[in-house]
A and B are shown apart, each in its own frame.
Chain A
Amino acid sequence: MKYIDEFRKRSAADGLIAKIKKIASKKVSLMEVCGTHTMAIFKYGIKNMLPERVNLISGPGCPVCVTPQIDIVRAIAISKLPNVMLASFGDMMRVPGGNTSLENEKAKGRDIRIVYSPLDSLDIAKKNKDKRVVFLGVGFETTSPSIAATILKAYDENINNLFFLSCHKLIPPTMKALLSLGEVRVDGFICPGHVSTLIGTIPYEFIAKDYNIPCVIAGFEPLDILQSILMLLEQINEGKALVKNQYTRCVKPEGNIKAMEILREVFEVSDSSWRGIGVIPKSGLKIREKYKNFDASAFEIEVEDIKEEEKGCICGNILRGINKPYDCKLFGKECTPLYPVGPCMVSTEGTCAAYYKYERRR
């Protein structure tokens, strides 16, 4: 496929690896912020190609993993209300929340649908006028503009039976929160390419300026990731901290202005709670007053207090880059992709799931 195959060429990968080996002079830790990068890094065996001096750590960029249990519990409570149909991306179905999950509830007969696009939920609402359709919105800036566009469309079409539960999160404030916690040493960030197609390169500038850490916005094919690692090492060697763009074919400095306008029209920034991290100021999105008729957070539900972490699960530390899955006593024993204990094992992009699938035998 065009724009994929060319970026998987073996000869070019060999060249990049040789150059990385040549210039990697000291021990460095690079964090890939995005869960889709984590998956790609494991899928293509990139960790094993790198010299040991170059350590990759996974960051908090898996939307499924960072959604706190309470949000899942809320979604489940909403699905139990009369006349409600719940729609969600497939990734959310198996996430544990208060001893159950959307998948379990669906098996018990609740009307829960998996959709590929938020627009599908609009179609469902149109076809089921007698039902209240609630879309569970998760995702970073890659996804939230699509939800905003769907809300605008529903607004224009006077749809009155479609609602959204916004669990959206923002990437730059999270990177800031991670750095200000000061628990993990990061010498360079591999920044999320698809988030950046929307937000552009400017929102990362503070990391380079205030924290003196180089950033490279990276594409998702193996050559993209290797080249980004090389670009980070070059900056580190030269003592520079700049925001550089490897994914120039898709990322413009200004991002997608129209999409961000739509996002800001519908949503405003709010504080948000992250699984394993806690509340991060200004790191989430809530629906603006003008569109409040679409906001499912106004639904009256009763939810019990729940403790955030399952016993023994250290997902929180893994999301903050402090621990690796091997440090968890449950990893590969009580906790496997078939019987996940924590969200990092549920999500296909979760760090524990990636280690289980690709690294366990080593």
Chain B
Amino acid sequence: MCLGIPGKVIDIEGAMAKVEIGAAHREISLQLLPETKVGNYVIIHAGFAIQLINEEEAKKTLDLLDSISNQMNGGQDEVY
């Protein structure tokens, strides 16, 4: 039941926002996340945005994962 899905905010009107989830559009409430801006990605649960997705942090995680897989597949990252 704690499923949350990422969506991109494409329009904001008052406390409501339109989000794009894959190819689908949906209306959600920003009551719990009033700082949301158009263009942000948010985690959506039960019709509410519950948290912003931090692009930079996502990239850091992916970089770390890449370095682990390079290291395990022959230590390529030791070149650096």
Interface residues of A (CB under 8 A from B): 1-4, 6-7, 9, 11-12, 14-16, 18-19, 22, 34-36, 61-64, 89, 91, 116-120, 138-140, 142-143, 145-146, 149, 152-153, 192-195, 197-198, 220, 223, 227, 230, 246, 248-252, 256, 258-259, 262, 347, 349
Q: Given the complex, which residues of A lie within 8 Å of B21, measured CB to CB?
A: 1
How many A-B residue pairs have C-beta atoms within 8 angstroms? Tell me. 156
**B2 engages A192 (CB within 8 Å):** yes
**B6 engages A2 (CB within 8 Å):** yes
A61 touching B2 in the complex, CB below 8 Å, given contacts A15-B73, A153-B31: yes
**A259 engages B47 (CB within 8 Å):** no
Q: Report the Cα distance A36→B5, complex, angstroms.
A: 12
**B1 engages A248 (CB within 8 Å):** no
A1 touching B22 in the complex, CB below 8 Å, given contacts A15-B73, A146-B45: yes
**B47 engages A195 (CB within 8 Å):** no
**A194 engages B43 (CB within 8 Å):** yes
Q: Is B57 an interface position by the 8 A CB rule?
A: yes
Which residue of chain A has its CB nearest to the CB of B70? Answer: A15
**B65 engages A119 (CB within 8 Å):** no
Q: Report the Cα distance A129→B3, complex, angstroms.
A: 32
Most buried by A among B2, B29, B35, B51: B2
**A15 engages B65 (CB within 8 Å):** yes
Looking at the complex, which one of A116, A119, A197, A227 makes contact with B4 (CB distance below 8 Å)? Answer: A197
User: Smallest Cβ distance from A258 to chain B, in angstroms?
Assistant: 6
Q: List, sorted by A's number, 6 A–B pairs whose CB atoms are closer than 8 Å.
A: A16-B72, A18-B72, A91-B1, A117-B29, A139-B2, A193-B4
Q: Given the complex, which residues of B lie within 8 Å of A118, measured CB to CB?
A: 46-47
User: Smallest Cβ distance from A61 to chain B, in angstroms?
Assistant: 7
Interface residues of B (CB under 8 A from A): 1-4, 6, 8, 21-22, 29, 31-35, 41, 43, 45-48, 50-55, 57-58, 60-62, 64-66, 68-73
**A119 engages B50 (CB within 8 Å):** no
**B6 engages A3 (CB within 8 Å):** yes
**B34 engages A258 (CB within 8 Å):** yes
Q: Report the Cα distance A251→B2, complex, angstroms.
A: 14
Which residue of chain B has its CB nearest to the CB of A139? Answer: B1
The 4 closest A-B pairs by CB, nearest first: A117-B47, A15-B69, A197-B51, A249-B58
Which residue of chain A has its CB nearest to the CB of B21? Answer: A1
Q: Report the Cα distance A119→B35, complex, angstroms.
A: 20
**A258 engages B72 (CB within 8 Å):** no
**A258 engages B50 (CB within 8 Å):** no
User: Smallest Cβ distance from A50 to chain B, in angstroms?
Assistant: 15
Most buried by A among B1, B34, B69: B1
Q: Given the complex, which residues of B lie within 8 Å of A117, measured CB to CB?
A: 29, 46-48
Looking at the complex, which one of B8, B43, B46, B53 makes contact with A146 (CB distance below 8 Å)? Answer: B46
Q: Report the Cα distance A278→B69, complex, angstroms.
A: 45
Q: Given the complex, which residues of A lie within 8 Å of B57, measured CB to CB?
A: 248-249
User: Smallest Cβ distance from B69 to chain A, in angstroms?
Assistant: 3
**A246 engages B68 (CB within 8 Å):** no
Which residue of chain B has its CB nearest to the CB of A259? Answer: B32
**B48 engages A145 (CB within 8 Å):** yes
**A36 engages B3 (CB within 8 Å):** yes
User: Smallest Cβ distance from A118 to chain B, in angstroms?
Assistant: 6
Q: Given the complex, which residues of A lie within 8 Å of B61, measured CB to CB?
A: 227, 246, 248-249
Looking at the complex, which one of A16, A138, A139, A258 makes contact with B68 (CB distance below 8 Å)? Answer: A16
Looking at the complex, which one of B29, B43, B50, B68 makes contact with A19 (CB distance below 8 Å)? Answer: B68
* 10 new A-B contacts at CB < 8 Å, known A35-B1, A61-B2, A262-B32: A12-B65, A14-B72, A15-B73, A64-B1, A143-B1, A149-B31, A193-B4, A194-B43, A248-B57, A249-B53
**B32 engages A256 (CB within 8 Å):** yes
Looking at the complex, which one of B31, B50, B70 makes contact with A197 (CB distance below 8 Å)? Answer: B50
Looking at the complex, which one of A64, A252, A262 makes contact with B31 (CB distance below 8 Å)? Answer: A262
**B51 engages A251 (CB within 8 Å):** yes
